[in-house]
Structure 1
Amino acid sequence: MRAVVRKLAMAGVCGAVVAASLAVPARAAGGPSWRPAPTGSDARFRGLAAVGHDVAWLAGSGGTVLRTTDGGRTWQNVAPADGAGLEFRDIEAFDARRAVLLAIGEGDASRVYRTSDGGRSWTLGFKNDDPKAFYDCVTFFDSRHGLAMSDPVDGRFRIISTSDGGRSWRVLPSKGMPPALEGEAGFAASGQCLVSHGKRDVWLATGGGSRSRVFHSRDRGLTWTVADTPLPSGPASGVFAVAFRDSRHGIAVGGDYRPGEPSPKAAATTGDGGRTWRVASRPPAEYRSGVAWPAYSGPAAVAVGPTGSDGTLTAGRTWKSFDTGSFDTVDCASDGTCWAAGEQGRAARLTFSRAG
């Protein structure tokens, strides 16, 4: 019991440090910053699983999968032997040994792998056999129960489910899924177009159509409701990522991913589990592809994109830039440690330096 209390206390301290770091003005002496963790790779990492201060997993282009167990000082290549050339866009890790990995693409390029030995070996749990399906993101409620989502097949988003930690998957019935809009899809940009919280809640973020929307299921993907968001939507724009602090309070970020294109209204918030969304009163100034809500940080959250990083202390209503480096995805572990990753092998951990 004392060990559990110490663990919870430390998680609370880490979350408080994240919140304090985001409160410091970006140009002040000290404050939040990303501490680089050189990977030695030139892959673009859009998949990231933060396990803790020492352990993180990266999934990226060219069949690249890396893992660190020493806080980013060194990285090991732990990619599946048959993964050369695959585009790995999402990864969910439970500890330093167990992880589930998603490859995206047309037809059988969409796959889900699983490891239980730190990536020394992988088993293929799912290979897509429908040429109309294209899988974007994966999420887990616990170490056994998870979902992955595909762009619409026959007019509805497709969901596959596992109850054995990714060893096997089944396609869920589509009757509980509302119809998709013309052109609507998920964006496989950060592994955050499908996210879960707690034992049963899961949200699916979209764009590409006439409206950007967020779908919500309270029963692990069997039935869904859907709500419009105020983020502009089009072939290159919409909601790219969502994060939830609990079953009610959430943040959505996105915009237009094309370089140089304006991205007004790039963030929105919900306080009712996604039934309604309000545009941020001061959103990030540019497109953001990833967002994370650290445990025990209260209203503090962080968003990233190719042109920089932003923090909020108001649960997503107002944002302030604190870094101009390029990242595609961000994730925070249960101990409050936040990692980010992106192009040219970039990986980093969020740190806080005190002024003076």
Structure 2
Amino acid sequence: MAQGQFWTETSSGFTANLTGLSKFHVVDANVAWAIAYDGVNTSNNIQQFSKTDDAGLTWTAGAFDLGDLDLGIADVSAVDTNTAFVAAYPRQVGQQGGIWKTVDAGATWAQQTGAAFNNAASFPNVVHYFDANNGLAIGDPANGYWEIYTSNDGGDTYSRIPSSSLPAPLNNEFGYLSQFAYSGDSIWFTTSAGRMVHSSNRGVTWNVYQSPLTDFGGTAIFGDISFATASRGVIQSNTGSIFKTTDAGQTWNNVVFSGIGAPYGGAIAYISGTFHMVSAGGEANFAGSSYSLDDGITWINIDTDQHVDSAFFNETVGYSGSFSDVINNLGVFRYTDTVLSETLVTETSEVRLFHNNQTEQLEILSGLQFERVRIYDLQGRLITTSKSNNISTYQLQSGVYIAQIFTDSGPITSRFIKQ
């Protein structure tokens, strides 16, 4: 499969060198916001962001003017190029974090006092707006239950979700900064106990599931999550292991992957509604990026540059964080390839599978004499048998399938994806 230039790096807009950019919120095909951090000394607190409104061609830096320079920046969620919300957390005893909103592209920020976060244990981690009016502010447990606020009027007012609608936190369990995923009306956030707290209805009710990890943000073990649909998601651990779910996180299966690349241990990002995903790593000894077109089974390496985040709006628009270089005008990666839009082609030395998702046809090409094919799902159940090498997949649900192809030289097994 031909590959062009997957990433093109451009200036992130910061005037100081080695300013990192991460925690992207990609609003639409043109607009994205992201949070800055000090790439030399991560303990230094900086309240800056950068945003684009031309699909990543140019980025403009700005400041979170919150009235307290010591507040840490947890997360950003934007509605458009002018309107965005930021969650800030206390870094010192006696500070109060909360949610702030801008309506003038970040020039000024106003605190939304309805999301109180005024308990001594209050610690905001996530802010996410599903649209201009409906959003959630998610924090650590306070007064014995998760501190989560919901708004349906663009943040003018908030209501705390009652403990009766939330799963009880474990002893000393807490969440992590901007570590969450969403798909449609569904949202998940991760915890220090390796659990995922999930709502399928914009925060009205919640469930909790145990993941394969013991901690999503520990010093030895940590991970990232992404969901392609309301039910199909992935976990990537810091060691590059991949786990998948098809039931919104209730159960997980380890993925045995192969290919000419491998996933990295930093960020993982599905392209929404597809089986395509991009992995990125920013650790000095585990840096790079790679992609998969078959739901994490096969990986192709892209580079070995440091990538501190990865986020995609669709198969043509996506970004990854880097570090500012004022002299060379660098600091943010923009996706500039076409590979994520291509139909998956699976090849062996004897047979080639081509699945056209538009016509819902699987074509089997081989220099060997074709006899018949059996198609199985990943649970090993026989789905169909055909003596034609051009098979309709109209009746198949979206997913990964195994084709056992019988030829005059014996059977050959390969995978394909129906999207």
Fold shared per TM-score above 0.5: yes
Q: Which has the larger radius of gyration?
A: 2
Shift of 1:63: 0.8
Residue matched to 1:10: none
Q: Note the C-alpha offset of 1:135.
A: 1.5
Give the Cα separation in 2 of the matches to 1:167 and 1:342: 35
- Give the direction of change, closer, same or farther, for the CA distance of 1:333–1:144 in structure 2 (3 Å limit): same
Q: 1:303 aligns with which of 273, 279, 287?
A: 279
User: How far 1:173 sits from its partner (Å)?
Assistant: 0.8
- 1:160 and 1:108 map into 2 onto residues whose CA distance is 19
Rounded to whole Å, the distance in 1 between the matches of 2:312 and 2:89 is: 23
Task: Report the residue type matching 1:222 in the other structure.
Answer: V
**1:248 aligns to what?**
231
Deviation at 1:341, TM superposition (A): 1.9
CA distance in structure 2 between the aligned counterparts of 1:82 and 1:105, rounded to whole angstroms: 13
Instruction: Report the equivalent of 2:74.
Output: 89
Residue type at the aligned position of 2:106: G
Residue 102 of structure 2, aligned match among 78, 92, 115: 115
- Residue 197 of structure 1 corresponds to which residue in structure 2? 183
- Give, in angstroms, the shift of residue 338 of structure 1: 0.4
From 228, 253, 256, give the equivalent of 1:281: 256
* Alignment of structure 1 residues 1-356 onto 2, 5 Å: 30-40=4-14, 41=16, 42-61=18-37, 62-70=46-54, 71-80=56-65, 82=67, 84-106=69-91, 108-126=95-113, 128-188=117-177, 191=178, 193-199=179-185, 201-206=186-191, 208-209=192-193, 212-233=194-215, 235-236=218-219, 240-255=223-238, 263=239, 265=241, 267-282=242-257, 284=262, 286-288=264-266, 290-295=267-272, 298-306=274-282, 307-333=287-313, 336-343=316-323, 346-352=331-337
Q: TM-score, normalised by structure 2?
A: 0.66
Q: Do the aligned residues in 2 keep the contact of 1:37 with 1:349 (CA within 8 Å)?
A: no
Once residues 181 and 57 of structure 2 are traced to their aligned partners in structure 1, the CA distance between those partners, rounded to angstroms, is 25
AA of the residue aligned to 1:231: L
Question: Which ranges of structure 2 fall in alignment gaps of 5 or more residues?
Answer: 38-45, 326-330, 340-419
The answer as to whether partners of 1:186 and 1:240 remain within 8 angstroms in 2 is no
With over 3 angstroms needed to count, the CA separation of the structure-2 counterparts of 1:72 and 1:88, relative to structure 1, is farther
TM-score by length of structure 1 reads: 0.76
Q: Is the 8 A contact 1:205 1:239 kept in 2?
A: no
Point out the structure with the larger helix share: 1
Which has more strand, going by share of residues? Answer: 2
Cα separation, partners in 2 of 1:152 and 1:46, compared to 1, 3 Å = farther
Q: Distance in 1 between matches of 2:220 and 2:174?
A: 10
C-alpha separation in 2, matches of 1:105 and 1:343: 25
Task: Give the structure, 1 or 2, with the largest relative contact order (CA under 8 Å, sep 6 or more).
Answer: 1
Q: Aligned pair in 2 of structure 1 residues 250, 301: CA closer, same or farther (>3 Å)?
A: same
Amino acid corresponding to residue 159 of structure 1 in structure 2: I
The amino acid across from 2:269 in the alignment is A
CA displacement 1:55-112 (0-9 Å, x = unmatched): 3212234111222334343414253263534322311112211111122335645221
Offset, 1:44: 3.3
In structure 2, the CA distance between the partners of 1:250 and 1:320, relative to structure 1 (3 Å rule), is: same
Matched AA of 2:301: S
Q: How many pairs align? A: 311
Question: Partners of 2:304 and 2:168 in 1: how far apart?
Answer: 39
Shift of 1:124: 1.0
Q: Deviations over 1:138-195 (max 9, x none)?
A: 222222111122123355432121212233333211222223334433222xx2x233
Inter-partner Cα distance in structure 2 for 1:344 and 1:31: 20
Is the partner of 1:175 in helix, strand or coil?
helix
